[in-house]
Structures are given as structure tokens and as C-alpha cells.
Amino acid sequence: MDSLTKEQRSATMARVRGKDTGPEMRVRRLVHEMGYRYHLHRRNLPGVPDLAFSSRRKVIFVHGCWWHGHDCPGGRKRPKTNEGYWLPKLERNRTRDAANQAELRARGWDALVLWECQLKDTAGLRRRIGDFLEGRV
């Protein structure tokens, strides 16, 4: 049983950062190093992508494995408390992400999702981002 009150849970969730996270900052530094320029958190695009490359009509999302349900050990980890709240919440996140990507495609944008667990391999990440932005994928 979850011992936090609704107010305590709300205060805890308010401290969870949605942008400028460590993984996002790592990707931003790498992309900038590669010579690409981008817009941050374009609110006029579905899902408010972390990086948007307007002239290329491409966006990059940097997703946390647990929050967005990646199929890796971190993403498959189950919540320790209040499963009745968290499991539906995480499923809503996955559903919302899929809908946002479909809407981006419908608007003529390509999206690349980078998962938190994939950021350790810098050379592979650099190659993947370059291939995506240059249209080699």
C-alpha cells in the first residue's frame, strides 16, 4: 500500500523534470558538436519533441525507459507501490507517444526516439543521429 497522501504524491511528481534532463542534455551536446542546429520543445508539434530540425522536418525525442515503456530491463521494471495507479499511467504514456508519432507522420515529419539506455554508446549514437538527420535510414 502506498503510504503517501495525494498531496505528497503530487509534490513528488512536480519535482520530476520533463525537459532539460541529463539524457536530453547529453543528446543536445552531441548534436550540437556534430554541427546541427535545432529548436527546443516546439509546442506546436505533437508530443513537444525535445529537438526539432525544422528545415529537415525531423524531430528527436529522448525518452526515459521506465516512463515511456521501453522493452529493456529498465523499462520492464514494475512499480514497487501503487501499481493500480502506475501501470495504467505508464500505458497511457505509451499510447500517447504512439498517437503523437502518428500525428507527426501525418504532418510530414520524421521522428527518432532515443531511449535512455541507448545513450551510453556515444559512437553508435552519433552514427544513428547522423544517419537519421541526413536521411540515410
pLDDT average, residue stretch 102-118: 98
Asked whether residue 1 is domain-assigned, the answer is no
**Residue 17 above 70 pLDDT?**
no
Predicted local confidence at residue 130, as pLDDT? 98
Cα–Cα distances in angstroms (integers) from residue 95 to residues 1, 21, 25, 39, in the given order: 27, 22, 25, 25
Q: Check: CB of residue 58 under 8 Å from CB of residue 135.
A: no
Output the domain CATH number for residue 55.
Answer: 3.40.960.10
pLDDT average, residue stretch 61-85: 92
Asked whether residue 6 is domain-assigned, the answer is no
Asked whether residue 10 is domain-assigned, the answer is no
What is the distance between the alpha carbons of residues 30 and 24, in angstroms, rounded to a whole number?
10
How does pLDDT run across 112-126, given as a tens digit for each residue? 999 999 999 999 999
Asked whether residue 5 is domain-assigned, the answer is no
Predicted local confidence at residue 43, as pLDDT? 96
Q: Which domain holds residue 103?
A: 19-133
What is the distance between the alpha carbons of residues 34 and 70, in angstroms, rounded to a whole number?
26
pLDDT, mean over the chain: 92
Percentage of residues in the chain having pLDDT higher than 90 = 77
Asked whether residue 7 is domain-assigned, the answer is no
The total domain count for the chain is 1
0.75 exceeded by pTM: yes
Q: Which residue has the higher pLDDT, 15 or 104?
A: 104
How does pLDDT run across 1-16, given as a tens digit for each residue? 457 787 876 776 676 6
Helix ranges, 77-121 (H) = 83-106
Asked whether residue 14 is domain-assigned, the answer is no
Asked whether residue 8 is domain-assigned, the answer is no
Asked whether residue 56 is domain-assigned, the answer is yes
